[in-house]
């Protein structure tokens, strides 16, 4: 095939040379017949040059493009749908069947489990036993817990977008600990001067991430490849306590929940300039993006409500109040996008909320101190950690 192409190319070149030698009329016709302008390729579409090894961005305008309703990866499509609830004071994980709203199993884990975190490859759920200094792996296919892995002060857990490292938020140790994502062996420790590192999210290109420091009211900017803090700032609010972090669909800004400022900070991650505050409700805590990337559900733990933030309008458009109050904390959205699941931190319960109407569908008693529950499986190609940040 290659030889024939070369042969035809040589013949075409010879013919053009002959036409040029025959006179002006023939030479004038040759360029018109070639139509060289038509052979110029169209300019390439705008792409995001991501962190080396990171899966290509599906849509430069929407980092959540892979998270559409029921768009499950082949890795997780056969996993049973469950809600995993870590009970910090009971040292257990309550497993809920979302169809029946009933607890079907209670799994004993280590001391003070804070979050249930899907691994980058989505094959494992890691329970962060903060005071027990261990991670408990759960197989989401069988629901069975495996042997605990020793990891010091694992308040929360994230994964770099290329799957190269796990990042342990060692809150009391004042460290970001980069580890092997499978064995959890320590690779690099990055000490921090702020207090209470706990939540984070990555830029659209994955090259940096923003971290909240709860107890000192600060934010960090961390270079993913270098595994180093490259920026730090104090939030402009006396007594600030930043919590969950989430990037906007277009990747232009980060939102940081603040339970003492009663709202979300809006931050330009690239410039890392002083953020502005958008009030949402008392005890603003968890942030969860809708399956169509149009809205974000904001749990207000101090007033038993959920604010609905519209990305396009850049404002809160609705607020849902839980009947009989409550303490909505961390959670996630169902695979079909129809239900928002949240733990009731101070009420030993879990809430299921209809995302179309804000109606409470169920209120389920669980263990004491329920915190970072994970709805699993969820759509997406890989997990960045926490209770399920998928891209």
pLDDT per position as a tens digit, 162-187: 999 999 999 999 999 999 999 999 99
pLDDT at residue 9, rounded to an integer: 40
Predicted confidence (pLDDT) per residue in 138-157, tens digit: 999 999 999 999 999 999 99
Q: Which of 337, 327, 331, 305 is nearest to 318 (CA)?
A: 305
pLDDT at residue 28, rounded to an integer: 37
- Please check the confidence at residue 234 and state whether its pLDDT lies above 90: yes
- Please check the confidence at residue 240 and state whether its pLDDT lies above 50: yes
pLDDT at residue 49, rounded to an integer: 81
pLDDT at residue 18, rounded to an integer: 37
Predicted confidence (pLDDT) per residue in 273-304, tens digit: 999 999 999 999 999 999 999 999 999 999 99
Q: How many CB atoms lie within 10 A of CB 381?
A: 16
- Segment 250-258 shows an average pLDDT of 98
pLDDT at residue 16, rounded to an integer: 35
Q: What integer best gives the mean pLDDT of the chain?
A: 91
pLDDT at residue 21, rounded to an integer: 38
The pTM for the full model equals 0.88
pLDDT at residue 4, rounded to an integer: 41
pLDDT at residue 46, rounded to an integer: 55
pLDDT at residue 385, rounded to an integer: 98
If one looks up domain 65-376 in CATH, what number appears?
2.130.10.10
Predicted confidence (pLDDT) per residue in 340-383, tens digit: 999 999 999 999 999 999 999 999 999 999 999 999 999 999 99
pLDDT at residue 8, rounded to an integer: 41
- Please check the confidence at residue 14 and state whether its pLDDT lies above 80: no
Domain ranges, ordered by start, for the chain: 2-39, 65-376
Predicted confidence (pLDDT) per residue in 45-103, tens digit: 556 689 999 999 999 999 999 999 999 999 999 999 999 999 999 999 999 999 999 99
C-alpha 69/C-alpha 361 separation (Å) is 19
């Amino acid at each position: 095939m290659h030889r024939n192409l070369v042969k035809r190319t040589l013949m075409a070149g010879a013919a053009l040379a002959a036409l040029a030698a025959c006179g002006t009329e023939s030479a004038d016709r040759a360029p018109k017949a070639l139509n060289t302008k038509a052979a110029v390729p169209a300019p390439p579409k705008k792409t995001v040059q991501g962190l080396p090894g990171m899966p290509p961005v599906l849509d430069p305008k929407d980092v959540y493009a892979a998270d559409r309703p029921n768009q499950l990866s082949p890795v997780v499509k056969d996993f049973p749908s469950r809600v995993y609830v870590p009970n910090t004071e009971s040292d257990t994980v309550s497993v809920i069947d979302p169809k029946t709203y009933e607890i079907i199993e209670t799994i004993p884990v280590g001391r003070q489990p804070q979050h249930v975190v899907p691994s980058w490859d989505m094959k494992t759920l890691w329970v962060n036993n903060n005071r027990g200094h261990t991670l408990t792996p759960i197989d989401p296919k069988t629901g069975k817990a495996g042997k605990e892995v020793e990891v010091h002060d694992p308040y929360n857990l994230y994964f770099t977008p290329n799957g190269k490292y796990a990042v342990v938020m060692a809150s009391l140790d004042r460290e970001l600990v980069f580890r092997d994502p499978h064995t959890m062996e320590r690779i690099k420790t990055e000490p921090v001067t702020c207090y209470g590192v706990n939540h984070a999210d990555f830029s659209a290109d994955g090259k940096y991430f923003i971290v909240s420091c709860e107890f000192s009211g600060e934010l960090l900017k961390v270079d993913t490849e270098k595994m180093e803090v490259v920026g730090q700032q104090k939030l402009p609010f006396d007594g600030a306590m930043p919590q969950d972090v989430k990037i906007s669909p277009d990747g232009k800004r980060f939102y940081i929940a603040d339970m003492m400022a009663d709202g979300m900070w809006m931050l330009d991650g690239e410039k890392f300039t002083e953020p502005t505050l958008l009030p949402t409700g008392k005890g603003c805590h968890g942030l969860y993006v809708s399956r169509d990337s149009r809205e974000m559900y904001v749990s207000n733990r101090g007033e038993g409500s959920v604010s609905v933030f519209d990305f396009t309008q850049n404002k809160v458009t609705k607020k849902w109040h839980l009947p009989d109050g409550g303490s909505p904390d961390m959670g996630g959205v169902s695979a079909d996008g129809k239900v928002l699941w949240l733990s009731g931190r101070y009420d030993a319960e879990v809430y299921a909320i209809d995302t179309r109407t804000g109606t409470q569908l169920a209120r389920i008693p669980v263990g004491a101190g329920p915190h970072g529950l994970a709805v699993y499986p969820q759509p997406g190609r890989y997990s960045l950690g926490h209770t399920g940040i998928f891209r």
